[in-house]
Chain A
Amino acid sequence: MQTVKMVITGPFSSGKTEFIRAISEIDVVTTDREISSVAEREEKEQTTVAMDFGRITVDDDLVLYLFGTPGQRRFDFMWEILAEGMLGFIVMVDSAKPETFREAKSILETFRAYAPTPYVVAANKQDHPDAWQPDDMRIALRIEPEVKLLPCVAKERDSVRDVLLELLYTILEEME
């Protein structure tokens, strides 16, 4: 049986776990822990410590694994391990938190340096009233025109599916 892997990365609380949860056929195996620091707790209760893990079965001999990286920098020793052998990756960005854009770009560059695999950027939380428009985020994050920057709402399965599909199309194009 063949397995392929895609990695979902991005800053703290950008929606990586939510993204995998929306589309995985198994309950996402997350190694989320309760958050310790006060500042982070205001944001949400759980953060991913080691990784998230989701699965989509294609048929008897092909399975797609989705790995979510921990968002907090202090766990970044996990990133390179997770990046090993990935087919492509998605950088999740919280569109309503412009203070995280710089960090998102830095994570993107780090992953790009691990492997020359295709990737897309997901402008997540587009349902949020403070969300920046994807076009503005492209300029602010300095994403080249040939890289896809896609609007996303990780809470909605259709939206997650579209982002995954776009990444797969990109992978296919690069093979041609």
Chain B
Amino acid sequence: MPLQGNLRDFTATQLLNLMNLSRRTGTLFIHEGVPTGEKDAMDKEKMAPGEERARVVFKDGKLVQATLAGQKGDLVAVLGKAGKLNDQQARIIRERAKGASDKALAMRLIGANYVTQKDIVVSIQQYTLDTVYELMSWREGPFRFDESAQPDKARILVPIDLENVIVEGARRIENDEILRDSIPNLDMALKFPENPKEKFKGIHLSVEAWRVVSYVNPKNTIRQIAKANNMSELEIRRVVYGLQQAGLVDIVKPLTEEKPGAPTGGKTGKGGKTGKPRQPGPSKDVVTRLIDRIKSI
């Protein structure tokens, strides 16, 4: 069951969305791209996976671990990064711990009043999130998802809901190329998907995102929503991208109230959805006969 490709065709945000919706368990490996000299189906340079850049572990669609290549990612490193241990303490603890699992080490550190249990949980969560936010800005790199690769048993796993990560990660995207590609047209509108209540359960949105959500309605274009909230194009794109990738809103054509007698064709005048009336199609009888014929093949 291969799930592989290149980040340039998907973006990490889309992949996280896929992991979330399909409730995946396994490890996503992201590699350096090594040019092969061949072309892919879209006529771009085909990239072979080179050195590993990062691995992200999922359990039942939740994020449980993320490490960049070259990082230790163990409890001592995590607490060091969170400022709970200084370098010297970290070194001493590492020397003494010698191969103890993170869980055993955590018990000892809590027992010795170095840190609290909450410190540990929060630090691990933050470490994972920082790593994922970083790789969400990557635009290139072969990836592969391996269902048989399980999380490192020695580590403490703190599951994180991906919807929040997707929304927050999108808000941090600096590169507005990704945003422009995904939301080229600000004259589109937003609507809620089916069962929005279900989807919004347990989601922590920024104030900015809530403001946008309060205007979601097929009659309001994204541009109008931005104006109403005093947001720049970049800001509104960030928020909408996050909401959309997390499956909280869909981008749709704006509903316009048609004035009687006004022409209905699209901008190009080429017909399309609002253009020509639908031709009277063939009858049900014709379709049934077609079905019988195809069945007999």
A145 cross-chain contacts in B, Cβ below 8 A: 194
**Is B42 a contact partner of A139 (Cβ separation < 8 A)?**
no
Q: What separation, in Å, do the CA atoms of A175 and B47 have in the docked complex?
A: 47
A23 in contact with B290 given A116-B273, A140-B10, A172-B284 (CB within 8 Å): no
- How many chain A residues touch the partner (CB < 8 A)? 54
- Assess whether A42 is in contact with B38, with CB atoms less than 8 Å apart: yes
Are B39 and A23 touching (Cβ within 8 A)? no
* Chain A positions within 8 Å of B14 at CB level: 140
B92 surroundings in chain A (CB, below 8 A): none
Interface size class of B (residues with CB under 8 A): 35 or more
A99 touches B287 (CB 8 A): no
Which residues of B lie under 8 Å from residue A39 when comparing CB positions?
39, 43
A99→B40 contact, CB < 8 A: yes
- Of all chain B residues, the one with the shortest Cβ separation from A171 is B287
- Is there an interface contact between A4 and B4, defined as CB atoms closer than 8 Å? no
A129 contact from B2, B41, B297, Cβ within 8 A? B2
Indicate if A87 sits at the interface (CB-CB under 8 A): yes
Interchain CB contact under 8 A, B2 and A62: no
**Separation in Å of the B281 CB from the closest CB of chain A?**
6
Q: Which of A59, A99, A133 contacts B42 (CB 8 A)?
A: A99
Across-interface contacts of B194 in A (CB, < 8 A):
145
Contact A4/B290 with A99-B6, A140-B10 known, Cβ cut-off 8 Å = yes
Q: Whole-angstrom distance from the CB of B12 to the nearest CB of chain A?
A: 13
Nearest CB on B from A124, distance (A): 13
Q: Closest CB-CB distance, B162 to chain A, in whole Å?
A: 13
Q: Looking across the interface, which residue of chain A has its beta carbon closest to that of B281? A: A87
Of residues 34 to 67 in B, which have CB atoms within 8 Å of A's CB atoms?
A: 38-44
B291 touches A139 (CB 8 A): no
Give the shortest distance, in Å, between B143 (CB) and chain A (any CB).
10
Q: Is the CB of B273 within 8 A of A139?
A: no
Tell which of B39, B287, B290, B294 has the most Cβ of chain A within 10 Å. Answer: B290
Q: Is the CB of A58 within 8 A of B297?
A: no
Determine the distance from Cα of A100 to Cα of B8 in the docked complex, in whole angstroms.
Answer: 11
Other A-B contacts than A13-B41, A85-B279, A113-B272, 12 sampled, CB-CB below 8 A, are A11-B41, A37-B43, A39-B43, A42-B38, A58-B289, A64-B290, A87-B287, A99-B6, A99-B41, A115-B272, A131-B2, A136-B3
Interface residues of B (CB under 8 A from A): 1-6, 9-10, 14, 17-18, 21-22, 38-44, 194, 266, 270-273, 278-279, 281-282, 284, 286-291, 293-295, 297
